[in-house]
Amino acid sequence: MLKLENINAFYKEIQAIWNVSLNVQKGEIVTLVGPNGAGKTTLLRIISGLLKPASGKIDFLGHPLEKETPNKIVEYGISQVPESGKIFTEMSVLENLELGAFVSRARKEKDQSLERVYEIFPRLAERKSQMAGTLSGGERQMLAIGRAIMSGPQLLMLDEPSFGLAPISVERMFKAVEKINQQGVTILWVEQNVQACLELAHRAYLLENGQIVGEGKGKELLSFESVRQAYLG
């Protein structure tokens, strides 16, 4: 479904991504793990169009993405939950969700999408008229994810969704993502909280210093020496 080929990218004149190739098949949960500063967020930004690669190709369902604008990429069916959610704090929960369905194809199905989101995250239904800025950390993350699926994406990308969350919230969030995947949405997940993530994922990539250094079935990656040392020790 999504294929990256030999992506090279710079961030302020320093090369951040070196020859990265990866792919995500339909229906999978693929996770991208790696230490801080490895370039995981950068890679997601490139896929979403917020950063342009210097070279390489990105193909999504037949559409080339390397030169596309971010809003077009959302229209094609990719949605990202950015780092720390980045919800619109001065707007209500409902308004945030409505904005998630901004693209025209999603607007028509706004009401169904809302139902779907409320079903996965009942808390959001309770709080729908509240200002997003008043939500707790866990609730904000739920809102961010809910907002991202409002556009009816085929591929949902999450950037460290468990960051700074209490363990209960993390568990709830993982369950929600699993449910979303079961409903047919492919997932590309960037995480530092490696253990739980690798249990859930079908496949995983290990990114270090902007390069892919490992790939395999979720549980297989746990055997990588570096992974164990760095994250499980």
Partner 1 sequence: MRKNSIVTPALIIIALIGLIGLPLVIKSDSTINLIILVLLYVITASSWNILGGYTGQTNLGHAAFFGIGSLTTRLLWINGFPFFLSFLAGGVVAVLLALLIGFPAFKLRGVYFAIGTLALAQVLNLTVGNILPEMSYNPDLANYQLLPRYYLFAGLTIVTIGIAYFLSKSRVGLGMMAVREGEDAAESLGISAFKHKLIALAVSAFLVGLAGAAFAYYHVSYYLYMPFGAEWTFDPVMMTYIGGTGTIIGPIIGAVFFVGLKQLLVWNVGEYHLIIFGILFILIVLFLPGGLVEAWQKVKKVLLRWFGRKKPNNHQIDSNKR
Partner 2 sequence: MQALGQNLVFGILVGALYGLVALGLSLIFGVTKFLNVAHGELVMFGGYACFWAFSLFGIDPFLSFPITMLLLFLVGAILYKVVFSHTVKFAEETKIKNTLLVAFGLSVILQNLALRFFTADERGITTSYFSTAFTVMGIRLPIIKLASLVIAVVFLIALQIFLKKTYMGKAIRATTQNWEAASLMGIDIHKVYLISFALGTALAGAAGALVSINYSIQPTMGLGWTMKALIVMVLGGLGNIPGTIIGGLILGVTESATSFFINSNYREVAGLVLFILVLVFRSSGFFGSKEG
What is the sign of the dihedral through the CA atoms of 194, 195, 201 and 202? positive
Decide: is 6 part of the binding site for partner 1 (CB under 8 A): no
- Closer residue to partner 2 in complex, CB, 25/71: 71
What is the sign of the dihedral through the CA atoms of 155, 160, 166 and 171? positive
By CB under 8 A, name the one of 11, 25, 52, 54 that touches partner 1: 54
By CB under 8 A, name the one of 6, 25, 55, 223 that touches partner 1: 55
Which amino acid appears at position 139 of this protein?
A: E
Per-residue interface string for the shown chain with partner 2, residues 146-165, x marking contact by CB under 8 A: -xx--x--------------
Decide: is 166 part of the binding site for partner 1 (CB under 8 A): no
Only segment of 7-15, 22-30, 104-112, 206-214 that touches partner 1 (CB under 8 A): 7-15
- Strand 211-217 and strand 203-208: the pairing is antiparallel
- Closer residue to partner 1 in complex, CB, 54/166: 54
Angle value at C-alpha 207, between 181 and 71, nearest 5 degrees: 55
In terms of residues, how long is the chain? 233
Per-residue interface string for the shown chain with partner 2, residues 73-92, x marking contact by CB under 8 A: -xx---xx-x---xxxxxx-
Only segment of 5-13, 96-104, 120-128, 148-156 that touches partner 1 (CB under 8 A): 5-13
Query: Shortest approach of partner 2 to residue 146 CB, angstroms?
Result: 12
Query: Shortest approach of partner 2 to residue 136 CB, angstroms?
Result: 19
Residues lying near partner 2 in the complex (CB under 8 A) are found at 48-50, 69-71, 74-75, 79-80, 82, 86-91, 95, 98-100, 102-103, 106-107, 147-148, 151
Residues lying near partner 1 in the complex (CB under 8 A) are found at 8, 10, 13, 54-55
